[in-house]
Chains A and B, each alone.
Chain A
Amino acid sequence: MVTSAALYHLMWMINITIDIRNVCVFLAPFFSSLTTIVTYLLTKELKDSAAGLVAAAMIAIVPGYISRSVAGSYDNEGIAIFCMLLTYYMWIKAVKTGKIFWSALAALAYFYMVSSWGGYVFLINLIPMHVFTLMVTGRFGARVYVAYCTLYCLGTILAMQISFVGFQPVQSSEHMLALGVFGLCQLHCFVDYLRGHLSASDFQVLFKATIVATGTILAVITGILTITGKVSPWTGRFYSLLDPSYAKNHIPIIASVSEHQPTSWSSFYFDLQLLVFLFPAGLYFCFRQLTDANIFLILYGVTSIYFAGVMVRLMLVLAPVMCILGGIAMSGMLNRYMKDVDASPVILGMPAGNLAQGKQGDKRSKHKQESNFVMKSEIATLFVAIMCFFLISYTMHCTWVTSEAYSSPSIVLSARSHDNSRIIFDDFREAYYWLRMNTPEDARVMSWWDYGYQITAMANRTILVDNNTWNNTHISRVGQAMASSEDKAYAIMRELDVNYVLVIFGGLTGYSSDDINKFLWMVRIGGSTDRGAHIKEWDYYTPQGEFRVDKEGSPTLLNCLMYKMCYYRFGQVYTEGGRPPGYDRVRGAEIGNKDFELDVLEEAYTSEHWLVRIYKVKDLPNRGL
C-alpha cells in the first residue's frame, strides 16, 4: 500500500495525473514484470543466462503466479513474491561474493518483504536452513558468515520496525531457527578460530565441554522463557503448515478458507503443468553440479513443494522455484541436444566439405565414444522437437488457464441465457453501492467475513469482521448470530451494535458459493468458542446426517436467522418452470419454511437477482406496544 502511494505521488510529481485506483490495478502486473526480471537474474546467478531466460519466460506465464498478479488483484502477495525473489537474489549474491554490500541489500529487500506479507516467515526460516546445511556439509566459510550475520542483524532490526511484527523476531518460536543459526554461526567461527590456535587434543576437550555447556544453557533458557510466556507458542497457522489435519480439528476458521485446504494433485498440474515434470529434472541438474547457491535452490524447492502441498495458497511460493528449476532443466537438456542437432546438417548436407571433415576429425579425437552413437542427430532432433512441443503446450495451457480461471472478476458474475446471449449479474456492486449511498455514514454492517473487505471498499461502511481474520472470537460471535434463532440473534446484534445485516443468497440464480452453503462453517466457527457452546453442528443436520433446506431439514436450521434472511419471501417466487414456488436452484429443493415474517429485521434492500439481501435491524419496540 505504501508502494502504491509512493508510485502515485511520484507520477503526480511529474504531472502524470493517474488515478490512485489505476495505480492499484496495475501494481500487481507491474511487480510481476519486475519478478520476471529478478527471476532471470536469480537463475543466472544459480546456473547461467540461458537457464535464466527460460525461467523468466516460464514465470511470465505460469498460472500459479498469474492467479495473484492479474491486473486488479491488489493483494500483498503480488509484491511479496517479487520481494522474496529479490531477497534470494541478493542473498545468493552475498553468499557468492561475501560482500557486506550485497547482504545489506538483501536485508533491505527482506525488510520490504516483511512489510508486505506475513509469508516472510518462510524466508527467514529458509535462509538459516541454507546456512545450516552449508555448515553441515562443511561449506561454511567467512563469506557465508559475513553474509548471514549482516543479513540477520540488519534484517531483524528492520523487521522489528514493522508494527505488525514487533518483537516477534526474538520472541516467537517461528523465528527461533534464525536466531539459533545466528548463534551457531558465532560458535562455528569461534571454534574455527580456536582450532587454529590450540593443539588437537586440547581442542577436542574444549569442544566437547563447550557443546555440553551451551546445550544445557540453551535448553534451560528456552524452557524458562516458554514457561514464563516470553516465547509465544506456535500459532495455529504454523501448526496447520506442519500438520495438515491440525486446522480441521482445532481451528475451523482456518480450515474454512478454501485457500487453506491441502492441495490436490490436479491443481498442481493445473497451475504448473509441464513444470511438475521438469522439477525433478531440475533438481537432478542441481545435484550434479553442487554449489553453495544450488544447495539453496534445492532447499527452497523441496520445502516449498511440501508447503504448497499443505496449503493451496502457498502454491504461490512454489511457482517461482518451479520455474527456476524448470528453466534449469529445460536449458540443460536443450543445451545438450542442441549441439548434436547443429552438427547434423553439416555432416549430412556437405559430406565433402572441408569444414565438415575438420569437425568430424575434431570430434573423433575428442569424444570418441559419442560419435559411435547411431542416428545421433535424428534422436537429438526428435528430442528437441518433443521439448518444443512440450513448451508450446505449456504456453497454450497457461493461456487457457489464465483466461478461464483467473481473468474473470469475481465481483461481476456472468452467465449464458437460453439464446446464448450473455447475462451479467452485477448484484454485488449494486447492493454495495446502495449501502454506500443510502445508509447513514456511521452505519455498522454485519456480514460473514468473506465480504468484509468488499463492503469496506465498495460500500464505505463499518463492518464487524473482515478478511483479516485476526479476531477469532468476534467472527465466532457473528457466526453465532447467524446460526441462532431470531430472538437470540437479536440480543447478539444489539450487543454488537449492528444496523444492517447482509447476506449472499444464490437460490434464485444458482450461484453456489452463497451463505447457505457456507453456513456449516458459520455453525462450526460459531460453536468453537465458549460463548457459542450451545451451538452444535449436529442440530443443523437431519437425523440421517444430511444438510437439507427442504421440509426434511432440521427445525433448528429452518428457524435460524441465516435461513430466514435468505429465504424471506422466497417462498412465493417461481424460480424454474415446472417447479413449485420457493424452489432453491442451488440446493435443488423446495424450501421447507415458506411463510414467515421477520420480527426484529426488515428488508432494506434486495438486489435485482436476489444475490445480495440487506436487512435493517429494527430498534427496540416502544414500551406497551
Chain B
Amino acid sequence: MSHTRLLFLSFVIVVAGSAQADLVNKNVETVVDISSQLAKISNKVTVENVGKTTLKSLIFGVPAHLKERTSFVTAKVGEHLLRVTETKLSGQDGGFWKVDLRSDLAAGRTLQLNIDLVLSRALVPHPGQITQKEKQLVLFEGNVYFYSPYLTEKQSLTVNLGTNSVESYARIQPVSQSDNKLNYGPYEKVPPFQEERLNIHYENNSPFLTITRLERLIEVSHWGNIAVEETVDIEHQGATLKGSFSRYEYQRESQSGISSVKSFRTALPASAVDVYYRDDIGNISTSHMRVLSDSVELELRPRFPLFGGWKTHYTLGYNVPSYEYLFNQGDVFVLKMRLMDHVFDDMYIEHLITKIILPEGCHSIELTAPYAVERLKDTLHHTYLDTKGRPVISVSKRQLVENHIDDFELRYNFAKVLMIQEPLLVITAFFALFVLVIIYVRLDFSISEEEEHSRVDREHKDK
C-alpha cells in the first residue's frame, strides 16, 4: 500500500507538477455490460478538486491486462464530448488516457463525468471447444475497482450478464446476485491503482463474430453517384466446434448449436439502392432487404451457419446518391462519409481498410479523420475511360467497435471542365473509327490490278 503511495508520489513529481493528487473521485458508479461479445464499461464519475490550484485535465486508466483489449474510450460531461488522448504514467504498466476538461476545474469544485470504455476480446470462451449440444461459457477477467491515479472514496459496480446461469464469480464482498445482474460494493476509500480481478464465468450465447478484415471501397462519381463496396471476412471466434456437425440435430432441436450464428442484420444508409450480396462463387440467395424510414435493413444469411472457428467471406455493395455526401463550392469539393459502417450489432473489427476512389483529375487532397488512423500510400486506379488513373486514398485501422462509426472529411479540388473529358474521349474514339472505315472503303489499297479482274470474273461466273 505504502509502496503504491510512494510510486504515486514519484509520478506526481514527474508529471509536470500538475498537482494530480489534488483530485479525488468522490463517487464512481460503474456498469459493466458483458451480455454481448464486447465488454462495455460505463463509469459515472464525480471528481472533486481538493487541491488549491485550478485543474485543466484529469487521468484515468485500465490495468495492464486490459490495456491491449481496450478498443474505444470516450469521456463526456453531460452531452459534451471531451478530448481524450492516450498517455503514459511512468512506473505504471496500465493504459492511461488524459481527458481535457472543457472548463477549468477550480479548487473545491466538483464535476460529473461519464467515462465509457469498450473492451474487445475480453470475454474468453472457457472451455475453448464445445460440441454442438453444449452451450458456450465464457470467462471475463475485468477489474473490480475503477482504475484511477486518484483516491476513490466510494464505488459501486453492477455487472449486467444477460443471463442468470453463472458458473462462478469473484466473491469480493459485499456482492449479491439478482436475476441476471451482479451487484458489487459499495466499496469505500479505494486507493489509487487498486487492482482486483473481477472473474466471472458464465453462459453467453450471443454471436461471437469477429470481422477479421473489412475492406470498404468508396468510389465517388461526379455524375451523381457514390458506390460503396464492403468486402468482409468474418470468423466466429467463440468456442470452437468439437466433433461433428449434425444437420439432423441442428434442424430438429432448437437448443442445438445455440452459440452458432445463422444470420445477422446490417443497416445501410436510407438512400442505399442496388444492393448486392455475393461472394467468390456468386450471388448468395439467402438474404432479405427491408426499407425502413431511416435506414435499409438487410438480413444477411451466410451460406452456412457459423459455428465456433468457422469463417466466411462476402461482398456487400450498394449505391448512394452523391448529393447527400458530396458538397462543393466552386472547384472545391468536400466528401463527408462514414469511415466505416454498421455490419452487425456489437461488432468487432480487427482490421479496417477504407479506400476512397476519387474522379480522375482531383488534386490537393486533404483527409480529416475522426480519430487517429494510419494513412496508407496513395495509389492510382484505372477503370473505364481513364487516361491517367484515379487517385485512391487508403487508410487503415485496427481494433474497431461500433462506437467508431463516424464521419471523415475529404477535401479536394476538381476542375468541373474535366467532367466532359470522358464523353469527349468516346466521341473522339468513334470518330476516329468512322474516319478509318471511310478511308478504307473509299480508297483501293490493292497493289496489283490483276486481283481486281479475277474477282470481277468470278462474280460474273457466279451469276
Contacts and interface: CB of A to CB of B under 8 A. Distances in A.
Interface of A: 15-17, 48, 412, 424, 426, 429-434, 436-438, 457-458, 569, 572-573, 602-608, 610, 616
Contacts of A602: 243-244
Contact of B281 (A432, A607, A608): A432
Given A434-B310, A608-B247, 16 more contacts: A48-B462, A424-B285, A426-B284, A429-B281, A429-B282, A430-B303, A430-B304, A436-B281, A438-B311, A569-B248, A572-B248, A602-B244, A603-B247, A606-B246, A606-B247, A616-B244
B385 interface: yes
A47 B384 CA distance: 44
Contacts of B279: 433
Contact of B285 (A412, A604, A607): A412
B87 to A, nearest CB: 41
The 10 closest A-B pairs by CB, nearest first: A606-B247, A602-B244, A603-B244, A17-B383, A430-B303, A569-B248, A437-B311, A458-B281, A434-B304, A433-B303
A424 B287 CA distance: 12
B277 to A, nearest CB: 13
B390 to A, nearest CB: 10
13 contacts: A429-B303, A431-B304, A433-B279, A433-B303, A433-B312, A434-B304, A436-B280, A437-B312, A458-B281, A602-B244, A606-B247, A607-B247, A616-B244
For A48, A424, A437, A572, which residue has the most chain B Cβ atoms within 10 angstroms? A437
Contacts of B247: 603, 605-608, 610
B314 to A, nearest CB: 10
A457 B282 CA distance: 12
Interface of B: 243-248, 279-282, 284-286, 303-304, 309-313, 382-386, 462
Nearest to B279: A433
Given A429-B281, A458-B281, A434 B303 contact: yes
A437 B313 contact: yes
Contacts of B385: 15
Contacts of A569: 246, 248
A285 B384 CA distance: 51
B300 to A, nearest CB: 14
A256 to B, nearest CB: 27
Contacts of B248: 569, 572-573, 606
A573 B251 CA distance: 10
B450 to A, nearest CB: 13
Contacts of A16: 384
B421 to A, nearest CB: 13
Contacts of B285: 412, 424, 426
Given A15-B383, A429-B303, A437-B313, A604 B280 contact: no
Contacts of B282: 429
A603 B384 contact: no
B228 to A, nearest CB: 17
B313 A603 contact: no
For B244, B285, B385, B462, which residue has the most chain A Cβ atoms within 10 angstroms? B244
Contact of B304 (A433, A457, A573, A616): A433
A332 to B, nearest CB: 15
A604 B313 CA distance: 19
Nearest to B381: A17
B304 A604 contact: no
